[in-house]
């Protein structure tokens, strides 16, 4: 990293005035970029003001100035201030303010992940465990730790996070397979219907498994070819084509034909494609 500017030659009063002016510029909608450059140029004298700006709640939901404060604190290596902000207990009921706060949290989590140390991993892990945030998950990805896989699987259920989570789970490769299998099976034993959130997670876990070699994991997934959820049964059927036994294929085909009689066109298209592949395979075996 470039060395920080040294303003020790400036009188203390002048440094204080320069720091205050730089922060005011940083807070401006029009001069924010210039203010960022000024803050970094003035140096550590701006850290107390940046801290005050970062820790101040913003009911309007505007987040740009506080995000610039995050970037400036990172440029000044003031990671202790970012850690303080990320460690705060916060309860924000207003949805507008929450959107802004989340944007600042995401920026701070990404910035502090540049410090590749254990305390940073633990901080980001606690943050993500309490509330799934894109910045925390992205920050954790820099560590490539298996402990993060359950958090990423939880994030699969969230429409605004599932693409981020899926990308990171693919980066883990085969190591993620056992976790994804457990998520996909997802049985409940209380007899109540599963929530849509739970179903989304299971379906997306199966989609990720479709890109992996899960021959050794197939027995744990076998029952899904007759799952109550149509999409889970269809996704499991695609895996069955690759890894299922002859008996599995027979059961899978029987269940899909039953589904095909009363479902929508999109599912019918998927079902007919699977059954067509199964028919082609059977014909090729007969001709070989």
* CA-to-CA separations, 182 to 36, 167, 219, 281, in angstroms, rounded: 47, 19, 12, 30
Residue 173 placed within a domain: no
Last residue of a domain, one of 96, 112, 128: 112
Decide if pLDDT at 172 tops 50.
yes
Residue 247 placed within a domain: yes
DSSP 8-class letter at 154: H
Task: Tell me which residue range forms the domain holding 251.
Answer: 222-288
pTM of the model: 0.82
Is residue 139 a contact partner of residue 109, using CB atoms and an 8 Å limit?
A: yes
Residue 184 placed within a domain: no
Last residue of a domain, one of 57, 81, 112: 112
Q: Note the pLDDT tens digit of each residue in 35-54.
A: 899 999 988 999 999 999 99
Percent of the chain with pLDDT over 90: 69
Q: Could you give the CA distance from residue 12 to residue 18 in angstroms, rounded to a whole number?
A: 10
Residue 143 placed within a domain: no
Q: Which residues contact 145 (CB under 8 A, 6 or more apart)?
A: 121
* CA-to-CA separations, 258 to 43, 110, 279, in angstroms, rounded: 70, 49, 17
Under the banding of pLDDT at 50, 70 and 90, the label for residue 10 is low
**Considering the chain, what is the average pLDDT of its residues?**
89
Residue 243 is encoded by which pair of tokens?
């890894």
* CA nearest neighbour of 123 among 160, 90, 161, 85: 85
User: In total, how many domains does the chain have?
Assistant: 2
Q: Note the pLDDT tens digit of each residue in 182-226.
A: 999 976 555 667 889 999 999 999 999 998 999 999 999 999 999
Last residue of a domain, one of 68, 91, 112: 112
Q: Could you give the CA distance from residue 77 to residue 82 in angstroms, rounded to a whole number?
A: 10
Residue 267 placed within a domain: yes
């Amino acid at each position: 990293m470039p060395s920080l500017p040294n303003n020790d030659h400036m009188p203390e009063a002048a440094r204080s005035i320069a720091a205050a002016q730089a922060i005011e510029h940083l807070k401006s909608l029009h001069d924010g970029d210039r203010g960022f450059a000024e803050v970094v140029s003035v140096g550590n004298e701006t850290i107390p003001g940046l801290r005050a700006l970062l820790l101040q709640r913003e009911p309007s939901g505007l987040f740009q100035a506080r995000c610039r404060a995050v970037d400036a604190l990172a440029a000044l290596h003031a990671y202790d201030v970012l850690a303080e902000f990320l460690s705060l207990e916060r309860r924000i009921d207003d949805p507008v303010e929450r959107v802004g706060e989340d944007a600042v949290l995401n920026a701070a989590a990404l910035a502090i992940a540049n410090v590749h140390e254990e305390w940073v991993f633990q901080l980001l892990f606690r943050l993500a465990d309490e509330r799934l945030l894109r910045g925390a998950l992205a920050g954790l990805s820099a560590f490539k730790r298996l402990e993060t896989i359950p958090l990423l699987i939880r994030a699969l259920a969230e429409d605004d996070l599932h693409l981020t989570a899926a990308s990171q789970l693919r980066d883990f490769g085969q190591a993620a397979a056992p976790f994804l299998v457990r998520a996909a099976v997802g049985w409940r034993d209380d007899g109540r219907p599963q929530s849509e959130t739970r179903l989304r997670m299971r379906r997306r876990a199966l989609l990720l498994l479709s890109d992996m070699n899960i021959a050794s994991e197939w027995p744990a997934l076998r029952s899904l070819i007759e799952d109550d959820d149509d999409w889970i049964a269809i996704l499991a059927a695609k895996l069955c084509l690759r890894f299922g036994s002859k008996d599995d294929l027979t059961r899978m085909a029987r269940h899909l034909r039953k589904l095909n009689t009363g479902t929508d066109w999109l599912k019918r298209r998927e079902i007919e494609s699977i059954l067509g592949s199964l028919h082609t395979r059977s014909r090729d075996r007969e001709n070989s």
